[in-house]
Structure formats: structure tokens, C-alpha cells
Amino acid sequence: MEQTEILKRPRLTEKIMSLSKKVKGDKERYSFIVDSRANKIQIAEAIHKMYGVQVDSVNTMNHKGKPKSRNTRTHVQVGRTPSYKKAIITLQKGEIIDFFEAV
């Protein structure tokens, strides 16, 4: 699996932004949506190559899609939201990733 395929997109939410304040020792935490086949070592290498930062730890979790249904005139449509894998990255002290920097 190539490095560009592993990281799909960053997941920027208020809860993730507040995680950095809870970690002791001025370590920053970021969340990414990643390929479901990627392991922690591959994710850490992809972060290092893409952003040039040192990764301290990687925590992953699989989210299963929720079932959804919708009533139409003829019948009920049943489906699911997509499943995905989320990785929470803890960087070493003093390292940051700036997603909003002006280029």
C-alpha cells in the first residue's frame, strides 16, 4: 500500500482540537481518517513522510456505518452510512502540524 493511499483526510472537530489540552507534556494530538487496511506502523510512517514530524504514538479505531432508512411513495429504502477507520496521532513534544498555514 502506498503512503498517499493510507491517509485519506484529517478529521477536524472541536473534540479532537481539545484533546491536545488533555495530554501532559505539551504533546499535540491530531485525528485522521485512514485506509481500513493500514496498520499503526504504516500510519506513523505516512504521517512522518507527509508532514515531516516525529510520531510518538498511534491509536486506531474502526467505526461501523449506521443503518439508515427513508420512506418514499413506493417503498422503504434501507441503507447504511459508510464505515471508516480513524487514527489519533500523538506527536512528540514540540512538534505541530499546521493545516491552515498560508502557502
Confidence of residue 3 (pLDDT cuts 50, 70, 90): low
Phi, psi of 44 (to 5 degrees): -65, -40
Residue 56's nearest CA partner among 85, 2, 20, 84 is 20
| Rounded Cα gap, residues 66 and 36, in angstroms | 17
With a cut of 70, say whether residue 34 has pLDDT above it: yes
pTM of the model: 0.82
Question: Which range, of 38-47, 58-67, 90-99, averages the lowest pLDDT?
Answer: 90-99
Confidence of residue 97 (pLDDT cuts 50, 70, 90): confident
Write down all domains in the chain, each with its CATH number in brackets. Answer: 3-91 (3.30.70.330)
The percentage of the chain sitting over the pLDDT mark of 90, rounded to a whole number, equals: 64
